[in-house]
């Protein structure tokens, strides 16, 4: 197991509970002899900390481990920034569901201590790269750990587009858009739109239409190494958006194309040894674990 000496801390801004947890975590890590590095946006929340401060990018270069305190949204942002540096990421849940940030604040010291002692599981989660082009010009690009979503933006009108998988046309569709989700994102927006729950170990991508005009349009699961291309119809009367993880937004126009493929680098996500995907589903989604007698 790896030796974690330099540990970076990232926290969601605007939450007193996050600040309290960051203070506990800082105290625990310093007392246990680790070097703690704060993300620059977090440093102002901990006055008098006397710790090294750096940008999120620099954190990926100098840290052996990064701990994210917040919700799944906080970890999504950290994942996009840190995956290229191969630094492992651990999540402490101070948000809502907590599919990715699975350490409870009530067990903070004991659980983090177990990870530091080498008692952890590693999951390699793949991300998607999305490229928006207008002819030969690239308008924007971003990564996504959960999903890449084509949607109408502020308009209430349907989008007309064509979908290609590995160069083969799948369909021409009029709908409110399309969700392209990884297994990690299958329990997020795609699930709300009627998509399937996918185990995180699957090497696959799910395509979920959003309120399609034809009732026969259903989610499609394709190989994770597929190259997807969405072409917005030139006759489309609206200017839609592409959103990555609901946090990065790229404006589009009729005739633009969106290419989506698997990112070469993966997120190294750490979990406690007793991490269980199905137990998380039972807890977070309200599934029953057994029949009542």
| 259 burial via Cβ count (<10 Å: 0-12, 13-18, 19+) | middle
Annotated binding residue at 188? yes
Q: Token pair of 23, please?
A: 């203070």
Annotated binding residue at 189? yes
**Nearest 10 degrees: Cα torsion 196, 199, 205, 208:** 20
CA angle 232, 182, 145 (to 5 degrees): 95
Annotated binding residue at 129? no
Catalytic residue among 72, 102, 245, 256: 72
- Write b or e for each residue in 214-224: b if 16 or more Cβ atoms lie within 10 A of its Cβ, otherwise e: eeebebebbee
Annotated binding residue at 157? yes
Annotated binding residue at 146? yes
Residue 274 designated active-site: no
Annotated binding residue at 73? yes
User: In angstroms, what CA-CA distances link 74 with 8, 9, 79, 247, 250?
Assistant: 14, 12, 9, 10, 20
Annotated binding residue at 72? yes
Annotated binding residue at 176? yes
Cβ pair 8, 63 in contact under 8 A: yes
Which residues make beta-bridge pairs with 260?
Answer: 130, 228
Annotated binding residue at 187? yes
Annotated binding residue at 247? yes
Q: Which residue ranges are tagged as binding site for NAD(+)?
A: 72-73, 146-147, 157, 174, 176, 187-192, 247
Q: Which residue ranges are tagged as binding site?
A: 72-73, 146-147, 157, 174, 176, 187-192, 247
Catalytic residues: 72
């Amino acid at each position: 197991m790896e030796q974690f000496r330099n540990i970076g801390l990232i926290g969601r801004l605007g939450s007193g509970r996050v600040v309290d947890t960051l203070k506990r975590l800082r105290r625990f890590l310093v007392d246990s002899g680790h070097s703690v590095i704060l993300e620059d946006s977090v440093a102002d929340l901990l006055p008098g900390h006397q710790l090294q401060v750096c940008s999120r990018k620099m954190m990926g270069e100098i840290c052996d481990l990064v701990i994210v305190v917040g919700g799944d949204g906080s970890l999504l942002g950290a994942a996009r920034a840190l995956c290229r540096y191969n630094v492992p990421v651990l999540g402490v849940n101070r948000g809502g569901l907590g599919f990715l940030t699975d350490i409870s604040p009530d067990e903070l010291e004991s659980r983090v201590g177990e990870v530091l002692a080498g008692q952890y599981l590693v999951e390699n989660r793949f991300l998607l790269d999305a490229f928006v082009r207008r002819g030969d010009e690239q308008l924007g690009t971003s990564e996504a750990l959960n999903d890449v979503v084509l949607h109408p933006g502020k308009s209430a009108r349907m989008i007309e587009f064509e979908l290609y998988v590995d160069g083969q046309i799948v369909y021409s569709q009029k709908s409110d858009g399309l969700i392209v989700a990884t297994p990690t994102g299958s329990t997020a927006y795609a699930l709300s739109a009627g998509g399937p729950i996918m185990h995180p170990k699957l090497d696959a991508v799910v395509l979920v239409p959003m309120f399609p005009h034809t009732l026969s349009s259903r989610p499609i699961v394709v190989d994770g190494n597929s190259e997807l291309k969405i072409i917005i119809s030139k006759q489309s009367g609206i200017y839609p958006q592409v959103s990555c993880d609901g946090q990065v937004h790229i404006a589009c126009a009729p005739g633009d194309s969106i290419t989506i493929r698997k990112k070469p680098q993966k997120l190294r996500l750490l979990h406690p040894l007793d991490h269980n995907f199905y137990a998380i589903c039972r807890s977070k989604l309200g599934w029953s674990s057994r029949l009542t007698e």
